[in-house]
Amino acid sequence: MSRLIINADDFGLTSGVNRAIAELHRAGALTSATLMAKAAATDEAIAIAHANPALGVGCHIVLVDGEPVLPVAQLPTLVRSKQNRFRPSTASFVRRLFGGRIRREEIEAETAAQIARLKSAGLRLTHIDTHKHTHMFPAVLRPVLRAARAAGIRAVRNPFEPAWSARATPAAPWLRRAQVRLLRRLEPTFRRIVAQEGFVTTDGAIGVLATGSLNSATVDSLLRNLPSGNWELVTHPGYNDEELDRVRTRLHASREVEIEALRRLENLPDLERISFADLKPGAS
């Protein structure tokens, strides 16, 4: 049996992203979203989540390219103090991480603060994932999971794209394809840590390779090839308005393309849609 979580990242980033998520969920095309604890439209996203209780809501942990919840003084290795922001690129974050210049205690503390901010707003969080998938690295994964477990969360995104999904994404750029293939080597360690920490996850994430190019043809291809198991389709829908134009992201025009692609999921009676709340021990 195939079960699919259809998740939208960046909930709270802008009002246009929020509107797309709300519309797609009400149409039956989205089952889940991950919410940024400190972004321009976070408060609006929280209100939308409360108004749509069937939407599974997780915490989209931001450790790169965003603002921290904790004071800068408490995060000297994570935050650029002059800008009061995390480092802008994943590459710079990873260089510091592998160079031993980021303290795991800061990752755990900031993760706990982001989760606490959303829980204090009355949200029951179904899971966690991370902006730019930084939790694929063990030095990030363990402190993130410790903070989540302390908050009562026991589900986490498996950020690794399986080989079958990569084959079903023919239009992906070759460089991104090579990156996804290389990073897949981290998956056995990821699964071991997730099991050790007592979390559940999916069999893999699809659509990661297609980030920035997820269109109707790719969605059709992924669904045709979907094997049995529990999978997550990772998406980034949104309306490309002036607010989004001010955001530093490569995902501008592609967000509206994703809206149209996801509308193909509105009426598929044979597709079992679930959220992370439906994952049980042994599901990973």
Q: Residue 268 has what pLDDT?
A: 81
Give 119-148 as a 3 state SS string: HHCCCCCCCEEEHHHHHHCHHHHHHHHHHH
pTM of this prediction? 0.94
**Residues 26, 167: Cα–Cα separation, whole Å:** 31
Q: How far apart are CA 63 and CA 103, in angstroms?
A: 12
pLDDT score for 283:
47
> What residues contact 186, with CB distance under 8 A and at least 6 apart?
136, 137, 138, 160
Q: DSSP class of residue 264?
A: G
Domains, the chain: 2-278 (3.20.20.370)
Strand, helix or coil for residue 279:
coil
What is the pLDDT, as a whole number, of residue 245?
64
The residues with which 79 forms a beta bridge, in sequence order, are 86
Rounded CA separation 222/96 (Å): 35
Six-digit token string for 37: 């604890």
Distance CA 127, CA 208 (A): 18
CA 69, chain centre distance (Å):
18
pLDDT of residue 250: 59
In this structure, the chain runs to a length of 284
Which class for 264: exposed (0-12), middle (13-18), buried (19 or more C-beta within 10 A)?
A: middle
Sign of the four-CA dihedral 47, 50, 54, 57: positive
Tens digits of pLDDT across the chain (284 residues)? 799 999 999 999 999 999 999 999 999 999 999 999 999 999 999 999 999 999 999 999 999 999 999 999 999 999 987 778 999 889 999 999 999 999 999 999 999 999 999 999 999 999 999 999 999 999 999 999 999 999 999 999 999 999 999 999 988 888 889 999 999 999 999 999 999 999 999 999 999 999 888 999 999 999 999 999 999 999 999 998 777 767 666 555 778 899 999 998 987 878 899 999 999 875 44
Task: For residue 186, give the 3-state DSSP assignment.
Answer: helix
Measured CA to CA in angstroms, residue 261 lies from 3, 109, 212, 258, 271 at distances of 19, 37, 12, 5, 16
